[in-house]
Chains A and B, each alone.
Chain A
Amino acid sequence: MTIIGPNGAGKTTLFRVLLGVIPPNTGSIYKKPNLRIGYLPQKITVDPILPLSVNRMMNLTGNFSNRQIENVLDETGVLSLKNKPVYQLSGGEFQRVMLARTLLINPELLVLDEPVQGVDYMGESELYKLIGNLRNKHGCGVLMVSHDLHVVMASTDRVLCLNRHVCCEGEPEDVSQHPEYLRLFGLDSGSALAVYSHHHDHTHQLSGTLREDSQ
């Protein structure tokens, strides 16, 4: 499932609530007891002042064997970086290492907050492919924030659009073909991209339903 929405929409806040970092203001969270969540936070910057190798970083809160660490690094294609200092990694390398880190606990759910940020255009699609492969291989769910609408539409099962409230939610294919949704969001075309890159030419009622007179 992918969460999309403009900056400040509450995507990261939603993640923090889900992960128990902050308590929800209202409502409640339902999740399986002891659900193993692999979390990749939005932006981590590591100062050169901290002498931390990739290998060491994998064991910051856990206690994993050398073999386990090498396995997950291999899975994301960054085994060769094992002994490198973390601050020397490029954006793409860092995200792959962090992705490997989430695999250590054999997660049932991956929570990825903008996993391709700081990654160049070519690396982006490879990283998305990798995430798809990992999902298939480990059979884990993937909950992700993304701004790449074309990727969202092509490879996600469900989409949730936030803008300080739940704007809309559903399967991308259905959504893009559904006349109701087209009327709601589709502007110029029925293409997957246009469906979700809607401009706010409408207003919602408090419940999130569309105000009829606003288009």
Chain B
Amino acid sequence: MILDDFFWRAVIAGMGVAILAGPLGCFVIWRRMSYLGDTMAHSALLGVALGIFLEVDLIFGVFVVAIAVAMILFIFQRQKQLANDAVLGTLSHASLAMGVLAISLMSWVRVDLMGYLFGDILAVDMTDLYWIYGGGLLIMLIFLWLWRPLLAITFDSELAQAEGVPVIRVQLIFMLLIAAVIALSMKIIGILLVTSLLIIPVSAARRFSRTPEQMALGGALIGMASVGLGLWASLQIDTPSGPSIVIAAVLFFFAANLFPLRKFQ
């Protein structure tokens, strides 16, 4: 069966997260949250450590820690003393350092650090596929329901609030969804590169998009193509899966920018 093959498992898993990354990634760049995504992703190693320590599924561990980091950020953003990027930078590196320390302290387990940091197609098992497609479906449904209020908040959060959008609740749910997507994509793309799947395909799609929805769909398609091309290259020339997918996405990004723009203003 096709799913017995590690390569196809990785492809199917990668396609799943690429589809999710399209619509979510749009809002990440529209709302200028790419560094926030990065910070949450960097905390993932701590989540891996937590998962190993508690002997629960690693995706669950990563999800929990990413949410915790998002909540800490949310609280920090309410104080105005430190600029956002300083808070994000602090938290990002603190959580990455804690993750590495925690894993090295657990001397009884052998952890493939490179695999977690940069992705490993060998690592995708059937459980991951269940997580990605089960969880992914749930994420997609929630996101469909969130799409319009999020778009209104992106345009202007104060106007949205005055017009009855529950701004804070929508923002919190959005953060949960990002945390979930990061947790789901970690194994294939790797912790250090996971936000690139959120950012690069939609940036490439911007060139061809006249509506927000086109950009989300285009981002999903380019993301899927990147996953396909990247994993194929990864198999052929035996490179880590994450960087291969990212390079494929970057190629699409440059190709998109070479395209004449006239029609798509």
Contact = CB atoms under 8 A, between A and B. Distances in A.
A122 to B, nearest CB: 27
A61 B210 contact: no
B146 to A, nearest CB: 13
A16 B158 contact: yes
Interface stretch (A42-50, A124-132, A157-165): A42-50
Nearest to B202: A49
Contacts of B206: 49, 51
Contacts of B209: 51
B210 A53 contact: yes
B54 interface: no
A41 B79 CA distance: 24
Contacts of B149: 61
Contact of A50 (B160, B161, B212, B265): B212
Interface in A172-204: none
A19 B163 CA distance: 9
User: By CB atoms of chain B within 10 A, which of A39, A44, A49, A53 has the most?
Assistant: A49
Contacts of A53: 210-211
Contacts of A88: 265
B156 A41 contact: yes
Contact of A20 (B29, B155, B162, B265): B162
A55 to B, nearest CB: 10
B211 A44 contact: no
Interface in B149-186: 149, 151-152, 154-156, 158-165
B158 A21 contact: yes
Contact of B151 (A47, A60, A62, A85): A60
Contacts of B265: 85, 88
Nearest to A111: B162
B30 interface: yes
A140 interface: no
A50 B30 contact: yes
Interface of A: 16, 19-21, 37, 39, 41, 44, 46-47, 49-53, 56-57, 60-62, 85, 88
Return the 8 tightest CB-CB contacts between A and B, nearest first. A19-B162, A61-B163, A60-B152, A51-B209, A44-B156, A39-B162, A61-B152, A21-B161
Given A19-B161, A51-B206, A52-B155, 17 more contacts: A19-B162, A20-B162, A21-B162, A39-B162, A41-B156, A46-B155, A49-B30, A50-B30, A50-B154, A50-B155, A51-B210, A51-B215, A53-B210, A57-B155, A61-B160, A61-B163, A88-B265
Interface of B: 29-30, 148-149, 151-152, 154-156, 158-165, 206, 209-212, 214-215, 265
8 contacts: A16-B158, A20-B161, A21-B161, A41-B159, A44-B155, A49-B206, A51-B211, A52-B155
